[in-house]
Every structure is written in structure tokens, then in C-alpha cells.
Amino acid sequence: MLYHLLYPLHTTFSAFNVFRYITFRTIYASLTALLICWLLGPWVIRKLSDRQIGQYVRVDGPPAHMTKTGTPTMGGLLLLFAIVTATLLWADLTNFFVWIVLLVTISYGAIGFLDDYLMQVKKETGGLPGRIKIVMQVVIGLLVAGLLYARADFDTHVSVPFLKQVAPDFGWAYILFATAVIVGTSNAVNLTDGLDGLAIGPVTVATATYLVLSYVTGHIKIADYLQIQYVAGSGELAVFCGALVGAGMGFLWYNAYPAQIFMGDVGSLPLGGALGTIAVITKHELLLALVGGIFVVEALSVIFQVGFFKVTNGRRIFRMAPIHHHFELKGWPEPKVIVRFWIIAIILGLFALSTLKLR
């Protein structure tokens, strides 16, 4: 909004010319979202506590988690408010991709809110049935992928990290592929959100990585120099990524161990959905498996655990899945698991960026 209100005044006040720059607006979207989370955090924690919206902790989890019972949850509402507000304030609102990512963020947030509400407020154990959750996510994913596919300039080739010459064209099947990326990332982040700050840390790192990827993909000269696909208008997604990074840091201030608040499904589902959508729009879909390697390992640990359990009639690969619980049960203190996962997330993000040159 500020871009539309203030940039046109640059002919009178030359200082307002700065609003034309994505870099400037990305930085201030980040600081705006950070401040919103940082300043409103204590009030949100108080309000959730007053309304007894506290986490129910399953008894079959790691014993150490029982002390977390009653921790205020649904903190994702604060994350979403900060991200959407900062994006509406600082992004170019005529940009189609910004609205696509906002659509996924808000709709997946609504699905998560419904799940949390049924579980935390209505005390309906299990919340929204998993099947209904997945169907709603897939429908939104197909809608978004269809809207992108319908654009005349949208390319259905899929770039492969490290291999400059390999970019298979998926054609109409790209719609299914893109939907799988969006829904898969959303649920992988959801599974990862099982220790204090364990999801928001890597999500913030991954989004910072896609902030850079969005900027270079939307910059015709840099894209040409790096020989990556140029996607006109995708640079504006850097402003959304900046808002998410700022909100993530602000939320982590309160979600850091020992957490004063959990994000709930209302936070984990949209964060992963937004990340998957940005990966699709910037045409770095497969690279997300590297950038979001923590989420991939978490999800695969569950898939292998459940599959092995069924095949061997009750034997397990891990002490408990997702894999963060395995390390907990091995005796790693929770903060050690969390920070070591953050370190790996940062390494993966840096390595993913280096693949832009390693092609």
C-alpha cells in the first residue's frame, strides 16, 4: 500500500523514490512483521491463556513433553497477522504472485485454525479429520496451480539442481506436481513442529533462501547472468519472504525453548504452504527438497517408521518418529536437538544458494 501511496510522490519528494526498490521494501516488511510479533506477542500469549487455549499433550509422546501441557497454542494467528499486514503495507499490490501466495497463506491458515479450534476450543480430540484436511489442501493447491498454469507466460518446465541442460516439461501434469509440492511442504512443516522453535527456525532460514531466489529470478540481468529461468514479477515475492522472515524471528522470541507459545496448525500449515508456493512460482521446485531438507527428513522418518512398523508387524526403525523425537529419546536435551537442526537448515540453505553457480 505504501508503495502505491508514496512512490508516486517521488516527483515532489525525491526521497520517496526509494519505495520503488524491492530491496528497501523487503527490509522494511521484515522489520514491520518482526515488530508486530515482538510487541503483540505478550498480549497474544495472555489472551490465549485467558481463553484456556492451551496445548493438549498426548500421553504417548516423550515423557518430557508432559510439562508442556497447557502451553498457549494457535500462536500462528499472530504470525499470519504480522505476515499479511507487512505484505499489504510494503508489497506492490498489483503483483499477481503476491496475491497467489497470500491466498495460500490465508486459506491454509483457515484450515489450520479449524483444526486447532476443534481440538483446543471444542476439545474434540483429533481436531479436523486428516482426510478432510488433506482434501481441502489439495483443492486449494489445484486451484493455485491451475491459476499459475493458465497464465500465458507460465512455464511448465521443471529445473533440476546442478543440471543446467535438464529441465523436463511436465505440461498439464505440472498442475499435479505443483499441488504435491505445496501440500507436501505444508504437511512436512506441520510434522516438524514438535519441539520449541524446531519448525519456525528452519522455515525462517528456508524463506530467507527463497527471498534471495525470488529476487534473482525476478531480475532479468541477474537471471541471465546466472543462466536461471527469468520469471517476470517474481521479485516482488521477496517482500513477502521478508515479511515471513521478520515474523518468524519475532515469533521465535517467544517460541524459543522453553516455549511460551506454540504456533498450532494455524501456523505450521500456511508457513509450509507459502514456502511450497514460492518454490513453484520461482521455478525452484526441486531445490526446495534441499533448502527444506529438515522437513523432508522429518516427513521421510515418519513414512519409513510407519511402513517398517506395518511390514514387520510392530518393529521400529527409530525410537520414535518424527526423527526429532528419536534424538530426544536417545538422551539429547531438547535445546540441543533444536539448535543442531537449525545449524543443518542453515548449511542446506547456503548450499542450495551455491547451486546457482554449480550448474
Site residues for ligand 57M per CB under 6 A = 55, 57-58, 60-61, 65, 68, 73, 190-191, 193-196, 255, 259, 262-265, 268, 302, 305-306, 309, 316, 320-322, 325
Give me the least distance between CB of 105 and ligand 57M, in Å please.
16
Compare residues 30 and 305 and give the one whose CB is closer to ligand 57M. Answer: 305
- What is d(CA 245, CA 18) in angstroms, rounded to the nearest whole number? 21
Strand partners, 163: 160
Residues 6+ apart with CB under 8 A from 68: 55, 57, 259
Compare residues 322 and 349 and give the one whose CB is closer to ligand 57M. Answer: 322
Give me the least distance between CB of 186 and ligand 57M, in Å please.
10
Look at residues 56, 64, 49 and name the one whose alpha carbon lies nearest to residue 258: 64
Give me the least distance between CB of 86 and ligand 57M, in Å please.
21
Compare residues 32 and 190 and give the one whose CB is closer to ligand 57M. Answer: 190
Could you give the angle at the alpha carbon of 231 between the alpha carbons of 293 and 17, nearest 5°? 105
Compare residues 129 and 146 and give the one whose CB is closer to ligand 57M. Answer: 129
Beta strands in the chain (DSSP E): none
Give me the least distance between CB of 6 and ligand 57M, in Å please.
37
- What is d(CA 24, CA 250) in angstroms, rounded to the nearest whole number? 20
- What is d(CA 98, CA 92) in angstroms, rounded to the nearest whole number? 8
Give me the least distance between CB of 77 and ligand 57M, in Å please.
12
Compare residues 311 and 358 and give the one whose CB is closer to ligand 57M. Answer: 311
Burial class (CB in 10 A: 0-12, 13-18, 19+), 258: exposed
Strand partners, 169: 157
Could you give the angle at the alpha carbon of 237 between the alpha carbons of 12 and 192, nearest 5°? 145
Compare residues 57 and 180 and give the one whose CB is closer to ligand 57M. Answer: 57
Name the closest residue to ligand 57M (Cβ).
61
Give me the least distance between CB of 246 and ligand 57M, in Å please.
19
Compare residues 64 and 232 and give the one whose CB is closer to ligand 57M. Answer: 64
Give me the least distance between CB of 234 and ligand 57M, in Å please.
29
Tally: H helices and E strands in the chain: 14, 0
Number of residues assigned to the chain: 359
